[in-house]
Amino acid sequence: MIVHAIGHPSPRFLKKSIEVMNNRRRFLSDATTGIGSIALGSLLAGDRATAAQPVIDPAQPYAPRPPHYPAKAKNVLVIFCAGAVSQLETWDFKPELIKQDGKPLKDGPAVTFQGPAGALARPQYTFRPRGETGKMVSDMIPHLAELTDEFAFIHSLTSKSNTHGPAENFLSTGFVEDGFPSGGGWVTYALGSENQNLPAFVAIPDPRGVPQASVNNWGAGFLPAEFQGTPFSSKNPIRHLAPPPQVSAAADRAARDYLEKMNQRHLERHPADGQLAARIASYELAARMQLSVPEISDLSTETAQTMAMYGADDTSNPIKAAYAKNCILARRLIESGVRFVQLFNGAYASGGELNWDGHSKLKTQYDRHAEILDQPTAAMIRDMEARGLLEETLVVWCTEFGRMPMFQKGAKGRDHNPDGFTCWLTGAGVRRGVSHGVTDELGRKAVQDIHPLYDLNATILHLLGLDHEQLTFEHNGVQRRLTNVEGHRIAEVLA
């Protein structure tokens, strides 16, 4: 060692020692990073190994595909009540709320989503025991109440948002943000359709308008565009299906035949062009829809008894009649093998006038909304049961969140509540006549068997024979899925 007179190491020695120490630090840092990279690579490889992305022929994107395991249901009908239906006025009976009517909520929030909280308010409708189960259900929905024994209720759902648009996103796509695929998009991406002349996924907007999150509820997100829902209703059919009046049927058919030959010739020259094949398949479906959609939308073939049963002939309430016709259309689509049908009851935020957002005058508004919902929806379920459709169809009734047990201060309505609300299921694979999950004695929060909406979506996929953890799509280097990184099937409602 070279030492200076005062006994300290020389600068050259210090420089050499620092280099050695830096090399050791770099080695340890690199080793740690390398081990982490190996671990991450292993995890990602495991994710890819367990993922079960469907094999899709671009020329036949809607061809039926096998599920991961034997399915209980082949089709899904989702009845989506937009605006957040109050669980306290419908399905979740709370006698303690009647006892504490008019009292302040002890240790409750001073301010909720839209403003100061008022006193606790009893249910605005009488509840009665229904069916063999004796479950207490509201007089607000007498026709649906008669079907109580057919339903499996989940009373303990929770959402991640108390705002309508993001909450609708979360229910339909599993994410509060925009840009993610809807549940119907995931299902048709995985399974295709049993009917090649109709869209695999149809969204039926309410006669009063589209829901708050609009097309996000039936969008394809980052999935291939062909898996987005096709929106149309009995009131607003698909536009531009018929050729212009000046084009004869023969000329239209000749043009389509010529275009098909040209497309086929181009595809033979470029067999690896999957986008071209998908585009051709889309145009071919559109051509077939020119015949199939007008036929399925033509309700004149329904009997007068059927129209009356649904309330589709109700001249005193045109909105109810239009929604009833949408219910008939939904049944006809399911009957024709459409894989996923999303039926909306209620439109966008409007102070509760056009949907179930009952902030200020809940009872007055719910009287109107319930009349529109009740008879047609109950008739649709009875009709599907009579036709044997529920043997292979899962029916889901849902809403984006619930409502608070107190009224808003100075108003006669309830504020948003994402911490405890209800949905129900019936049909294929469902254990009927059960109630699962519990909210507290006032109906404010889920306290037993708590289920985020991820679990509802996982259960829907399970009944279709799909493992929600395996149904993935790689987007921006991430294996995305409907249930994000969460979700468990709700075994208690399964037959």
DSSP state string for 3-40 = B-TTSPBPHHHHHHHHHHHHHHHHHHHHHHHHHHHHHH
Residue 178: which of 154, 200, 161 has the closest Cα?
161
Under DSSP, is residue 159 helix (H, G, I), strand (E, B) or coil?
A: coil
- The predicted structure's pLDDT at residue 256: 72
**Residue reference for tokens 């329904």:** 302
Inter-residue long-range contacts of 299-304, CB under 8 Å, 24+ positions, other chains counted: 299/234, 299/325, 299/328, 299/329, 302/328
Q: Is the pTM of this model over 0.75?
A: yes
**pLDDT cut 70: percent of the chain above it:** 86
Tell me which residues of the chain have a pLDDT lower than 50.
1-6, 37-50
- Are 426 and 395 in contact by the 8 Å Cβ rule? The answer is yes
- The predicted structure's pLDDT at residue 231: 95
- The predicted structure's pLDDT at residue 276: 66
- The predicted structure's pLDDT at residue 44: 44
- The predicted structure's pLDDT at residue 37: 47
- The predicted structure's pLDDT at residue 239: 67
Tell me the pLDDT tens digit for each residue of 96-152. 999 999 999 988 889 898 889 999 999 999 999 999 999 999 999 999 999 999 999
- For residue 208, the Cα-to-chain-centroid distance in whole angstroms is 20
- Are 294 and 324 in contact by the 8 Å Cβ rule? The answer is no
- The predicted structure's pLDDT at residue 292: 85
